[in-house]
Amino acid sequence: MGLSRLALPPGVLYLPGQRRDQPSASCRWKGEAGGARRGQPPSPAALEDVFNMFVVVGHSCPLYPRLPGRDCSGRTLPSDDAVETAEGRSSVSHQLAQRNDGPACTPVQRALLALTIPLEMLQVVKGRMMQAMSHGLSRQTHAQANVRMLPTYICSTPNGTEKGNVLVAELCQSHVRILLMTLLGDGNQSPHVTDKIFDVPGDSMQGPGEALFDFIAQCVRQFLAGVSSPEERLPLGFVFPFSCKQTQLNKAELLSWSKGFSCSGVEGKDVVQLLQSAINKQEVGDHGVGGPGWGQPRGGANDALALTPGQLFHVEVVALMNDTVGTMMTCSTRERPCEVALVVDKGTNSCFMAEAQYVEVVEETNGRMCVNTEWGCFGDDDALNDILTPYDQRVDQESSNPGKKRFEKLVGSLYLGDIVRHTLMALSAEKALFIGSNVTVLGTKGALNTQQVLEIIDNEEGMAKARVALEALGLRPSERDCCRVQQICRAVVSRSAALCAAGLAAILGYIRHSRGLERLVTNVAVDGELYRAHSRFGEILQSVTGLLAPDCMAALVPSVDGTGRGAAIVTAVALRLADQRREMDQLLAPLRLSRTDLERVQALMRQEMELGLGQETNANSSVRMLPTYVRGTPDGTERGEFLALDLGGTNFRVLVVRVAEDGIRMASEIYLIPTNIMQGTGEALFDHIVDCIMDFQLKQDLMEQVLPLGFTFSFPCQQLGLDKAVLLTWTKGFSASGCVGEDVVQLLREAAQRKRHLALKVVAVVNDTVGTMMSCGYDDPKCEIGLIVGTGTNACYMEEMQNVGTVEGERGRMCINMEWGAFGDNGCLDHIFTDFDRLVDETTINPGKQRFEKLISGMYLGEIVRYILLALVEKQVLFRGKPCPRLQTRDIFKTKFLSTIEMVMPPPACGTGTVMGMVMLTVPLVRGSDGLALQQVQAILHDLELDASFEDGVLVREVCQTVSLRAAQLCAAGLAAVVEKMRENRGLSQLAVTVGVDGTLYKVHPRFSQHLQKMLRELAPNCTVTFLQSEDGSGKGAALVAAVACRGAEP
């Protein structure tokens, strides 16, 4: 395997932090590697200097690590001088950094090698971290996962509109900090902050838990005694930096204490409730806790923190979080949200905004949720054994939790001083350091702390700091000892940064993949002692992350008071989301139909059907129940050639259909009907239709033949015979004059006479719904229902002739064209119509008509969504409350957007890669790509010139889902009335029937059919209904009606 090269000039060696134009001030000695002749490797005596180079990234060195096996110019060393890479190295050989061939390394060289992780090995660590994250997110493996991936129930980053007063109670190792922040809705640019620190009594850390929480509540009360406006209701965010199992934003059970705390009666309890109870006991309010409107500023910005000592106030704990989440919240900007946080302090942790659908341990599946990785435990399953050194093992053994938090013990500042100490102990034992000194003191835990380590690695003062620290321990270090100690300190700190980079790269890679992005751009909030105190740490973190995650552009942003301000922002965001959710639920509630609502619609449909079938009651029904004179479905014996016409929208089709024993073959052509003809005179419309027929017959060489013709006319008609249908009303944008009340077949025949086209034999007129049923009936004899859910909606079914009071005859069955789009025109559905439905209805060309269709069909759903979005903008729920003039444009939000918006994109293809001989996962840590779909939502909104955030996309999708779900459920309620009537007509306990279905909404919308079928099963449990999608029902179906009619006419 090829190894990465350092971008350094040939034959030149740079020491850590050294600029290319100056010599090293840290340490020099004989045999400097930079003096090697070009083309020759440095001598073994100079290797120590080489190691000083490759364990640290400085201004002169863009990569970590300096990979063994090459000299500083990037040339491969001869095998005798090459240092073994991680390839083929066992964990033991890595720990000891020994070879069996070539010149032996000195003890210092071996130590530096052991503390250096090659880039290829960091890739392996990254891959293992990603797998551990995947296990933590999975419901099946979460309980056993070391990287716990705990949901925080924080579902958004700040958008700058947060406002109001927010309290924070932060429990630290030795004190409690109470903070009050006022946010002004100005992008969180100028928050007003007041805080106070209270020392925690020593006995509170190990005493009863009740005493600890009472103390925190007393701190809150004392703080607010002079910092509260009258009757202020204050939300409180609780920073609790211990491992918890969180089940809601304001509900979390303590798993275990750490950091010197061991209060009784708290583990396994909800710490939010414990604090809330303690606050309530302090009598901080006389009128209960919480309630609507708390946390909002009174009056202007200057009034929000009016100081009125002694006033009443109310406090409610609304959010619990750890310091990592707070860190993330302080670093978001409007241009680039911060979605990752990394803390490298005494301990280490990270969090990031994950796609909610992949956080399987929670029910939430929309949008994103912040996940607290708890990555300090990474490696507790031995995943890091091959990079652990003997020094790490000793630090672990003397810790209070051996075998636990292995990653944290390699990275956290609490342990780095002891790693250095054990390294120095080992080197002293080998007589490589402190010759002549009594080194017993190095056996004392904490003898060398991380602060000293950070001072020692400083370029300018490091050597002097090393001497001071070592002499303070009673050691007598030489200059060479000080230089070697500095090298060891740099190696330990650099390894910590590189391992953090591997973890960060794993997170960035996971986010990029789960969202289906080619490139991820985000801010990463960083905090902690190591990052703040050592600039080189940040440089290594940035550069190594770039190497391990080249498809991710992550800007490291120092966090400012993540535990205080960040917690306040978390709480403010929680309040904003709660208000947002309340507004959304209130607005969408009328569109969310209950089972009872749908059963009532089903009963009303059945009632209207009965009225429509009765001769005396037909005129009073909004469902016309029109006889079609189609008395049977295809039986497979139909043969011959037939013409078909299909008129149902802006396009008109002419077809020739050949029905043979081996199947059906068709040829067709589409002709446009211009708007001026749709809305002109009836004579012009039918003349245009005949022109199209003649053009088609000419092209198909059919002008000399007289073929039976089936005419699909997809508008409400009263059919007086199979070839006689009186138009009742125009729909779908047609308004041609002189047609309503006329026989459309006769209008067609008259137009043919005007055009002198005599070879026209119309034998049947049907609508598209009947054609759909007939088309599917050719393939499935059980198909006795037709359903259209597209631009419009309608249904037909085979009714018993004895129930059809509008037609003479008692025997057999007849297909009834329900024309159910007009269901509710008589007011029977007014109880389910919303203000948005009324707005849509008022702007149509037929107000008050086709009311059921306007709740269901594709022509109207986009407009319903648009009116809802306008209402949400007015309530400042969407688009940060900014006006959206484009949304005022009628029909700008197309119904096809609903299908796109609700679509879940397919996951990226799976694959594997090989790193250091190991097969590594290169994708598929995620099941699907809801994130991709949400990006599609944003893209649609941006195309509409709407400045939409990811969060806006989530809300818009919820609106679309609500509108389309209602449409599907209403359709199911209507269909349930049909199948139940058929079952009762036939005296069956169980009906098995097939529905032939057509229409773009049913076929294209990703969930409409599922919702419809699910609700139908619930509303008609005694009916087994199969759905068969029609293939050209309006064309082929019309021809089959003609074929069945001709079959019946044969002697």
Catalytic residues: 653, 714, 768
Strand partners, 726: 718, 743
CA distance 1049 to 801: 20
Sign of CA dihedral 466, 469, 473, 476: positive
Q: How many residues does the chain have?
A: 1051
Phi, psi angles (nearest 5°) of residue 186: -105, 30
CA dihedral sign, ordered 551, 553, 556, 561: negative
Distance CA 813, CA 323 (A): 73
Let me know if 301 is exposed, middle or buried by CB neighbors in 10 A (0-12, 13-18, 19+).
middle
CA-based end-to-end distance of the chain: 85
Show the tokens assigned to 111: 């130590």
CB 149 within 8 A of CB 137: yes
Closest CA to 361 of 371, 352, 346, 350: 371
Residue 21's SS3 state is coil
CA distance 210 to 321: 20
Q: How many CB atoms lie within 10 A of CB 429?
A: 12
Dihedral (Cα; 321, 324, 326, 332), 10-degree rounding: -140
Cβ(524)–Cβ(557) below 8 Å: yes
Is the Cβ–Cβ distance between 756 and 939 less than 8 Å?
no
Q: What is the 3-state secondary structure (H, E, C) of 534-597?
A: CHHHHHHHHHHHHHHCCCEEEEEEECCCHHHHHHHHHHHHHHHHHHHHHHHHHHHHHHCCCHHH
Q: What is the CA radius of gyration of the chain?
A: 38
* Alpha-carbon gap, residue 197 to 183, rounded angstroms: 21
Tokens 């050989």 — which residue?
93
Strand-strand pairing, 918-921 and 991-998: unpaired
> CB–CB of 628/719 below 8 Å?
yes
Is residue 1013 within 8 A of residue 608, CB to CB? The reply is: no
Residue 262: count of CB within 10 angstroms of its CB = 14
CA trace torsion 122, 124, 128, 133 (10° rounding):
50
Q: Kindly report the backbone phi and psi dihedral angles of residue 872, in degrees, each rounded to the nearest multiple of 5, phi listed first.
A: -70, -35
Side-chain half-sphere exposure of 929, counting CA atoms within 13 A:
19
- Which of 1049, 1002, 1010, 1006 lies closest to 1029, judged by CA? 1002
For residue 283, what are its two tokens? 């009598």
Both structure tokens of 551: 């498809």
Query: Rounded CA gap, 155 and 769, in Å?
Result: 45
Q: Which amino acid, one-letter code, is at 954?
A: V
d(CA 1028, CA 773): 9
Q: Which letter, b or e, does each residue of 115-141 get, where b requires 16 or more Cβ atoms within 10 Å of its Cβ?
A: bbbbbbbbbbbbbbbbbbbbbbbbeee
- Nearest Cα neighbor of 708 from 646, 639, 763, 638 is 763
* Residues in a beta bridge with 256: 243
In 951-1017, where do the E strands start and end? 991-998
For residue 837, give the 3-state DSSP assignment: helix
Rounded to whole angstroms, the Cα distance separating 631 from 162 reads 66
Cα separation, 506 vs 177, in Å, equals: 34
